A and B are shown apart, each in its own frame.
Chain A
């Protein structure tokens, strides 16, 4: 039994039965495409059939895999094999035990408890299993980006991969496209400066980064983040609530007596301890009257975002400006 992950390129010789296991839709799609191309590319023209397991009727598998009058065999892609009906699952299991020679069967399976018998049968029959698990953690995305550059025959240093993740976001399809583009447009080793030249700004600007920049008094950076956030579709309501939270924490932490332990402050304000530490740094330059003024600016913006004004973007921009101005005033 051979189990591999999709990061390694698929073998050139195509196995008669392959199971693509996992839920990362982009990787599954690319793996299947690669397998089909490999099966067809070995000098033989093959008939490719691509269908969903839930659409398969009883007996249809036999007719699809029966030898063609003209020879040449075929490639059969069965997607979402876990959704196959009971009869079709039985047929697939029978097929796995004795696959005919000139057919390449590629199944995709989401993993999980549904249809696990079929998966076990495939493993027992010695099918190649390629795993495409969901990429969720930052480290995994970093690995993905590095692997993408390796695929393209390039090397990228760690800082470049991080910068690209910051700039493009977490969607694998977009990341892969960005890596492709960088590899195609440049010749040397990919470094951070190169990523900065092609991708500017942050794709994943959130309300919280806007709030952080605003209360730190970095007006230009805050406005830039705000425009980015609005452009990438962050809801104005969320941005406004992040602004409120940022300013409120300033007030609560600032009003606490000096020397209050972080843990106690965190419990009172309902924020994690690391956040309290950061707020303490942000507090420099703030005066209680300024904080009050900033909070009232946010309250006004919230009413405007919720329908009192025509433009939510303008209301937010004005609030950010007022927050920055309130910090300066003494």
Chain B
């Protein structure tokens, strides 16, 4: 396993696939160099016939078909979609196929490589206007002579129009452009995009694999790492946060107290209010730290605080630009709030999933092994049917939150259902 792919926990088949592709891509570049120059009169993606005529028998590491121009990385949150995509980008851009040591690999890891276009939607959605700009930028030739990689994280945030604007660019990209899209599942993308990409499916890593990464990379105590890995259910980033951030662990404890404390109408309403308030507080903490510096930077860009002739004219558009920025910040705050709340709901769902496992007597590794006593108490107090209904209520709440239902109302509906079973 070469250097850049080392961060992928428990994804051996994916790593093998990507390594083959990177080798084929390198071969493609060599072939073009032999045929008269990089990006020659046709360059890029050779038609199938020409590929066959080239006559080199594909070796085990060199299958011409192993590389293609559009990839869709799918897998549940935290399984390492963007990590895999970034590692692949490094393997494509690095002259040594992703050594992990050279300047090129380090730049890709830092997101500063000139030929890596990194898109990370921050708002609730990614609009068609932004996408058209992106398509234009993606059409450029690589500066480093290898590939121009567009890494689009959370591509499922694209609106339908935005996805349509991407279609042509993905189907026939510029000769050296490679698209790497990331989404939770292939079904999250419209079929027209899906059919134009090669899908790479990442598996949910086993808790042991996640714990190994935490121990190896962050130096976390093995026992603690395993507990965090189980609680995070394969989400590497979340496992690390649970193991290192005391606040995150405390919030999880608070969420997991809900099934035990919410036993009456009043308690259910209070629990709902506190769940929503916690999410709001956290969203505020995250966004406030970003908002003010962004506003300051914008004001400075318009020349606030400077003096001289023409400054009044320069300041003229500032109100509109500030409004624009504030809209984007608001959208980001809503998304952070929603994501935080969703995380809490997932923790809660994991608890009831464990309860169900106990009730059915299955021999499956429990996600909340650290709270076994609570779980057994909850399991003894209800039937599997009631647990399933509760799980359904949690999932309904998540759906409603994406529908933009008032968060407090949706969560109240859920906690009331948890009480009733």
Query: Does B239 reach chain A (CB closer than 8 Å)?
Result: no
Query: Does A295 reach chain B (CB closer than 8 Å)?
Result: yes
List B367-412 residues whose CB lies under 8 Å from chain A: 400, 403-406, 408-410, 412
Contact A296 B416 (CB under 8 A): yes
Q: Which residue in A241, A251, A256, A308 is a CB contact (below 8 Å) of B406? A: A241
**Cα distance, A303 to B269, chains bound together (Å):** 19
Q: Please give, as numbers and ranges, the residues of chain A lying within 8 Å of B404 by CB-CB distance.
A: 306-307
Of the listed residues B266, B403, B405, the one surrounded by the most CB atoms of chain A closer than 10 A to its CB is B405
With A296-B417, A306-B404 in contact, do A248 and B264 touch (Cβ < 8 Å)? no
Contact B269 A299 (CB under 8 A): no
Interface size bracket, B side:
20 to 34
Query: Does B265 reach chain A (CB closer than 8 Å)?
Result: yes
Contact A307 B419 (CB under 8 A): no
Contact B266 A248 (CB under 8 A): no
Q: Which residue in A291, A292, A302, A307 is a CB contact (below 8 Å) of B409? A: A302
With A241-B406, A308-B403 in contact, do A299 and B266 touch (Cβ < 8 Å)? no
Query: Does A252 reach chain B (CB closer than 8 Å)?
Result: yes
Query: Does A254 reach chain B (CB closer than 8 Å)?
Result: yes
Query: Does A255 reach chain B (CB closer than 8 Å)?
Result: yes
Query: Does A288 reach chain B (CB closer than 8 Å)?
Result: yes
Cβ of B257 to closest chain A Cβ, rounded Å: 18
Q: Please give, as numbers and ranges, the residues of chain B lying within 8 Å of A28 by CB-CB distance.
A: none
Nearest residue, chain B, Cβ from A291: B265
Contact A288 B409 (CB under 8 A): no
Query: Does A244 reach chain B (CB closer than 8 Å)?
Result: yes
Query: Does B291 reach chain A (CB closer than 8 Å)?
Result: no
Q: Please give, as numbers and ranges, the residues of chain B lying within 8 Å of A291 by CB-CB distance.
A: 265
Secondary structure type dominating chain A contacts: helix
Q: Which residue in A288, A295, A307 is a CB contact (below 8 Å) of B413? A: A295
Query: Does B261 reach chain A (CB closer than 8 Å)?
Result: no
Of the listed residues B264, B400, B413, the one surrounded by the most CB atoms of chain A closer than 10 A to its CB is B413
With A244-B406, A303-B405, A308-B403 in contact, do A255 and B413 touch (Cβ < 8 Å)? no
Q: Please give, as numbers and ranges, the residues of chain B lying within 8 Å of A240 by CB-CB distance.
A: 406
Contact A302 B405 (CB under 8 A): yes
Query: Does A119 reach chain B (CB closer than 8 Å)?
Result: no
With A248-B269, A302-B405 in contact, do A292 and B400 touch (Cβ < 8 Å)? no
Contact A251 B266 (CB under 8 A): yes
Contact B266 A252 (CB under 8 A): yes
Contact A302 B416 (CB under 8 A): no
Nearest residue, chain A, Cβ from B269: A251
**Cα distance, A306 to B399, chains bound together (Å):** 12
Cβ of A228 to closest chain B Cβ, rounded Å: 23
**Cα distance, A256 to B270, chains bound together (Å):** 11
Contact A299 B410 (CB under 8 A): yes
Q: Please give, as numbers and ranges, the residues of chain A lying within 8 Å of B2 by CB-CB distance.
A: none
Query: Does B192 reach chain A (CB closer than 8 Å)?
Result: no
Contact A306 B403 (CB under 8 A): yes
Encode B257-269 as 1/0 by CB contact (under 8 A) with A.
0000000111111
**Cα distance, A123 to B66, chains bound together (Å):** 88
Q: Please give, as numbers and ranges, the residues of chain B lying within 8 Å of A296 by CB-CB distance.
A: 413, 416-417
Contact B265 A254 (CB under 8 A): yes
With A248-B269, A296-B413, A296-B416 in contact, do A255 and B264 touch (Cβ < 8 Å)? yes
Q: Please give, as numbers and ranges, the residues of chain A lying within 8 Å of B112 by CB-CB distance.
A: none
Query: Does B420 reach chain A (CB closer than 8 Å)?
Result: yes
Q: Which residue in A288, A299, A307 is a CB contact (below 8 Å) of B265? A: A288
Contact B264 A299 (CB under 8 A): no
Contact A306 B416 (CB under 8 A): no
Query: Does A229 reach chain B (CB closer than 8 Å)?
Result: no
What 7 pairs across the A-B complex have the smallest Cβ distances?
A: A255-B266, A299-B413, A288-B265, A292-B416, A302-B405, A244-B409, A303-B405
Jot down 15 A-B pairs with beta carbons below 8 A, ordered by A: A244-B409, A248-B269, A252-B269, A255-B269, A292-B265, A295-B412, A296-B413, A296-B417, A299-B410, A300-B413, A302-B406, A302-B410, A303-B410, A306-B404, A306-B405
Extra inter-chain contacts (6) besides given A251-B269, A299-B412, CB under 8 Å? A244-B406, A251-B266, A292-B420, A302-B406, A302-B409, A306-B403
